[in-house]
Chain A
Amino acid sequence: MKNPADRALAALIVFSHETLGLSPNQLSAIGLALGLLAALLAATGHIGAAMVVLAVSQLVDGLDGGVARRYGLQSERGRLIEAVVDRTCEIAFFLALAAAGLATLKIAALACIAVLLVTLGERASGFDPGFKRFMMYFGYALYAWAGVPGFEIALSVVFFANLAGFAVGTVLADYRFQGEIDEAVIVRRDFEAGSGIARRPDDPPTFLSKLFS
């Protein structure tokens, strides 16, 4: 098992699949139910209980992918279900914090948008800053122990990290694409040079290219 999370959860992965007979999609469904329960608890003001249920839902969320990888049950549909479940739980929890008055609706909605943008861009960029739910524990710690609007701060961090993640992701994807285009030109140019084909004349130098050459 290459994935460090899979190694840490190895016993639970085996137990949930071999003893309880749960498939990855069934685990995703349980994770979704727990995530929505956490949001309901948060919205009704039981924030301590909500954090505990959120942690359990995150644990179950780690098991579905682990079972899929360990038992060769990975599929494109499973990945899609996992992404939908994760985003649904996160968005429900963010909005629940706003409903409970623990954060403003504006920052909760913006954090949701930023998280969805990263999901939209991830297929092209392969980049996701992650740690969305971990930030909720950080927010709770600030709220419970430091008496500051911790969830507002945590959602602001989620918003900025994911917005920056989306922007950087688009640049990374475009950079890779440009690299492939350039590589094809370099290979063709080298082939033409090796074959004795006359190469296209260079563009006339500019002020800058004169300055640096």
Chain B
Amino acid sequence: MTILPHLALTTLGIQALGLEGADIALAYAFGYGIDLVDHPIKLPLYTRKNGRKNETHYHWRTPLQEPVALLWIAPLSVYLATAVPVLFFISHFALDYMVSYEKRPFAPFSLYSTEGVLTGYSDAAKEVVVTSLCLAGSFALGHRQILNFIGGLFG
């Protein structure tokens, strides 16, 4: 999925779990930030193949954001004594597996590839629904703080 649903779901998760301090940073790192590291890695390959032209379904993903990454994220979570990296990483790839581009969940150990789940629905519709639900959830959980913040701006 694109930036917005990942950010919205991560924010909702942080609110729902009442995370504080370093856990918030870990949540954004594994719920969203992993995308920022992952996609630039294949940029040299993309430009070699396509130059500046668009290839809509190019395989940008690396194993850093596939389920296989749980093999290193789970021990890291144990070391840090917090389940936040595992939980938010699962939320990240769960969203990605709802949209239809190619995924290689076990790469490089298996080259099995899949388009994920709910492939019969439009990707854009899924993005809108997920983002709307997450934003509504965030507002429901944090409406008092939001209203106080807005009130503070004018008070």
**What is A's interface to B at a CB cutoff of 8 Å?**
106-107, 110, 113-114, 117, 120-121, 124-125, 159, 163, 166-167, 170-171, 173-175, 177-179, 181-182, 185-186, 202-206, 208-209, 212-213
Q: Are B54 and A204 in contact (CB under 8 A)?
A: yes
Interface flag for B56 (CB, 8 Å)? yes
Report A26 CB to chain B, min CB distance, Å. Answer: 33
**Smallest CB-CB separation from A182: which chain B residue?**
B49
Question: Known interface pairs A186-B49, A202-B53. Does A174 touch B78 (Cβ–Cβ under 8 Å)?
Answer: no
Q: Are B56 and A203 in contact (CB under 8 A)?
A: yes
Tell me the bound Cα distance from A173 to B64 in angstroms.
12
Q: How large is the interface on B (under 10, 10 to 19, 20 to 34, 35 or more residues)?
A: 20 to 34
Partner of A178 from the list B45, B56, B79 (CB cut-off 8 Å) is B45
Report A118 CB to chain B, min CB distance, Å. Answer: 10
For B90, list chain A residues within 8 Å (CB).
none
Interface flag for B42 (CB, 8 Å)? yes
Q: 20 A-B contacts, Cβ less than 8 Å apart?
A: A107-B79, A110-B75, A110-B78, A110-B79, A113-B75, A114-B72, A120-B109, A166-B71, A167-B63, A167-B64, A167-B72, A170-B68, A170-B108, A171-B64, A174-B107, A177-B111, A202-B54, A203-B55, A206-B54, A213-B52
Tell me the bound Cα distance from A120 to B107 in angstroms.
13
Interface flag for B104 (CB, 8 Å)? yes
Interface flag for B76 (CB, 8 Å)? yes
For B64, list chain A residues within 8 Å (CB).
167, 170-171
Tell me the bound Cα distance from A185 to B41 in angstroms.
20
